[in-house]
A = this chain, B = another copy of it.
Amino acid sequence: MAAAIALSGRGRGLSTPNPNVGCLIVRDGHVVGRGWTQKGGRPHAEAQALDQAMDRAAGATAYVTLEPCFHLSPRGPRCADLMARAGVARVVIALRDPDPRTDGQGASWLRERGVTVEMGLMADEAARAMGGFVLRQTLGRPHVTLKLGLSLDGRIALPDGSSRWITGPDARAHAHMERARHDAILVGGGTLRADTPSLDVRLAGLEARSPRRMVLTRVDAPAGWERIAAPQDIATLDRVDHLLVEGGAAAAAAFLRADLVDRLLLYRAPIVIGEGLAGIGDIGLTDLAQAHGRWRMTDTRALGVDRLEVYEAVRSA
């Protein structure tokens, strides 16, 4: 399942309007098929993996990060039916599909046709890998990551605004890979006017993965930029499951104040800046006690001399 979840990551930022599912088919200890949701949502991961497996799918075990779909669509076949027809003996599912058109019916269909079905293996990890899809289904909005490149003392720039460079090449390359895994990137109006950032993916081979560019502003957006007037408007965005907020301090604060940040992506350089610009503006905090218990570290690692820290919002279920 861990391998299937890793495969699902390949569809991140590409698969909308469909979830980025991963699927692995194993027979007699050998991987006979691998798939992930393709660009634009089709083919589905299962269909792709079954295509690879061909007749080796008969009697095999399929690991899939989301319950195979059951609803009829003009865009492609029902994966639950495909799997049953291919003779898959056992389907291990991480996450039950929250989409009401499937929601357990895919598993039922398989079981009725004699397929062994297990559900729930690594469900948390799968939900994290398909965070945008899950939030779309549960809260009706995209998954939001706030990215900051910081000094040890939490500065994102010198007093004059210069921020090239705080983090080193490894951290910057990682940040570009994160861009490729998002459907859209957003900056605040002030940052757009001050920096005119290109927000593209500057990694060899991934240039075509540059996401849509958005700006949080009350005035008109320039050509090539989409506009939202308030963080809450992300719910109206079409085909955006994963949104990356790259600053500045006012935009970061607006999303935090609205409790619309699901993940913090902090690149911390081993430098001290002292007087300088902060990465996050006023979030309306008046009591330190309210600040606690809201963030949980899920990853930390070295990126050259810098460190990556990933935090996820703690929300009651």
Contact = CB atoms under 8 A, between A and B. Distances in A.
Interface of A: 148, 150-155, 158, 162-166, 253, 256, 264, 266, 269-276, 278-286, 288, 291-292, 294-297, 300, 305, 307, 309, 311
Nearest to A159: B282
A253 to B, nearest CB: 6
A164 B150 CA distance: 24
A158 B288 CA distance: 8
A256 B152 CA distance: 13
Contacts of A269: 292
A282 B291 contact: no
A279 B272 CA distance: 11
B296 A270 contact: yes
Contacts of A165: 288
B280 A272 contact: yes
Determine the main DSSP class of A at the interface with B. Answer: loop
A296 to B, nearest CB: 7
Contacts of A150: 153-154
Given A153-B280, A270-B311, A275-B281, 9 more contacts: A151-B291, A152-B295, A152-B311, A253-B275, A270-B297, A271-B294, A273-B288, A275-B285, A276-B285
A266 B276 CA distance: 19
Given A158-B288, A288-B165, A307-B297, A266 B148 contact: no
B297 A273 contact: no
A158 B285 contact: yes
A112 B164 CA distance: 59
Contacts of A151: 154, 291
Nearest 5 Cβ contacts at the A-B interface: A154-B154, A274-B283, A275-B282, A271-B291, A270-B295
Contacts of A279: 153-154
